[in-house]
């Protein structure tokens, strides 16, 4: 995809996430970002993967990361 297409794709996917998670989306994305940061420190490359080709913008991928973040933080005691 071109840079413009990637940008449009990102906005469309974010709208899907807003619809699915409503007003809690920002909090959930922050939680997922903390998990991603922790995991990237242990095994570098995850952040770069999610930034490439719109992978991290995909609503299904973001939703899975959000769901796994709650499990991750529960196990970490956060």
List pLDDT tens digits, range 38-61: 999 999 999 999 988 779 999 999
Domain that holds residue 14: 3-76
Q: What is the pTM of this model?
A: 0.86
**CA distances to 25, 57, 66 from 15, in Å:** 11, 11, 15
- Mean pLDDT throughout 28-47? 96
**For residue 3, pLDDT beyond 90:** no
Name the domain count of the chain.
1
Choice between 44 and 6, residue whose per-residue pLDDT is larger:
44
pLDDT of amino acid 2: 85
């Amino acid at each position: 995809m071109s840079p413009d297409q990637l940008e449009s794709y990102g906005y469309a996917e974010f709208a899907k996430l807003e619809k699915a998670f409503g007003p809690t989306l920002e909090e959930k994305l922050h939680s997922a970002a903390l998990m991603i940061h922790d995991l990237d420190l242990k095994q570098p490359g995850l952040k770069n993967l999610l930034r490439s080709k719109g992978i991290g913008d995909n609503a299904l991928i973001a939703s899975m990361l959000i769901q796994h973040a709650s499990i991750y933080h529960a196990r970490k005691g956060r």
